[in-house]
Structure 1
Amino acid sequence: MRKAFLRHVRRFPWVTNVTLYGCLFAGGDFVHQWFSRREKMDWSHTRNVAVVAFSFHGNFNFFWMRFLERRFPGNSYRMVLRKLLLDQTTAAPLATTVFYTGVSFLEGKEDIMEDWREKFLNTYKFVNFALVPLYVRTTFTGCCAFVWATFLCFSRQSGDGTAAAALMRTGTNNLLYYNITVFY
């Protein structure tokens, strides 16, 4: 089954990666809601997260990863650092901005920049290029995005953009909370 899946990804890399990325991102919202307010799921929010993920995040990440690999080929220490630096200084802020403003826009908020202004810096604080082959890199990033989307959805709905607030809300033990608070 794994070989068949990888064959499919190699044959249809864009469609497969964007679809998986979008599903994983929307899944992050589902997981957030399941743990934070299971009795009252907001499916329109999950839909909005999916729209932003399918229309922007999956496509952007697919082409961004290809651009980085073509511009900085290989997985030497130097190339990985270049890609990582560019990814974290260019793509991560853009993708986070699109998430906060895109979901706010789809929800019809009057000030679509409000969540971004309140949470972006906290959110932004929070070995893809060396170990993951290019043909599955977008899907791998999508799996990471699943966790990231869960955090972003929590932050947008009820947090302040910090990992510590997310962990305290979900009932994670105080020792972990203390370690994260000290780290930041």
Structure 2
Amino acid sequence: MAIAKIKHIFKKYPILANSVVYGTLYTGAEFSQQTYTKKIAPATGVPAPYDLTAMGRYGILGLGLYPQVYYFWYRWLDGKYVGTATLTIVKKMALDQFVLTPPLIASFYLFMSIMEQKQDVFEECRNKLLPTFMTSCVFWLPAQGINFLFIPPAARVVYVGSCAFIWVNVICWFKRQDYSKTKED
């Protein structure tokens, strides 16, 4: 009964349903990162309060940007490349990783920098885009292979949202790293 109701909601309101699930998982990843870095293993040894503003920024991207992009991207991708033949899966994986992923990673750093009101909104993107992208290849290529081979099209955004929970924990870690270039005097 509950599964039938959930399927009905996803069929009737696919963008909204996908946005809620994806946004919850995306924000939940930042919550899990903060739980670890602020409560379980704080750098100072003293637990710190949660940064709800930071969680809100993840919520904005997780609810308002990425699920809509993924929804229309997978509709297009599944319509253009139908089936589960090896070559079809490889094409989908290559397009997803090398066409969609770089702008999504760049938009993550740019939008976060804008929301954080940083002076140079491009600095973090310049410094972290390449290492983040290289790590994303290791994570997302196998995840997308599973997605395109076994996951039905209607469940793609939820599957990617579930993987994104893990991935956003990784990208949260990258976000907290200092990759700034130091000038030698």
In which range does the TM-score fall when normalised by the shorter chain? 0.7 to 0.9
Identity of aligned residues (%): 25
Q: Give the equivalent residue in structure 2 for 1:170.
A: none
Residue 68 of structure 1, CA deviation = 0.3
CA distance in 2, matches of 1:25, 1:159: 22
Describe the SS at the equivalent of 1:128. helix
Q: Give the equivalent residue in structure 2 for 1:36.
A: 37
Q: Give the equivalent residue in structure 2 for 1:176.
A: none
Moved over 6 A (4+): none
CA distance in 2, matches of 1:128, 1:159: 33
The CA deviation string for residues 9-53 of structure 1, in whole angstroms up to 9 with x for no partner, is 223211111221111111111111111112231110110111122
Residue 159 of structure 1, CA deviation = 5.9
CA distance in 2, matches of 1:55, 1:13: 14
Q: Structure 1: which 5+ runs fail to align?
A: 161-184
Q: 1:121 aligns with which of 113, 121, 130?
A: 130
CA distance in 1, matches of 2:103, 2:62: 13
Q: Give the equivalent residue in structure 2 for 1:106.
A: 115
Larger Rg: 2
Q: TM-score, normalised by structure 1?
A: 0.82
**Structure 2 residue 73 is matched with structure 1 residue 64:** yes
User: Which has the larger displacement, 34-43 or 106-115?
Assistant: 34-43
The aligned length equals 160
CA distance in 1, matches of 2:96, 2:88: 12
Describe the SS at the equivalent of 1:110. coil
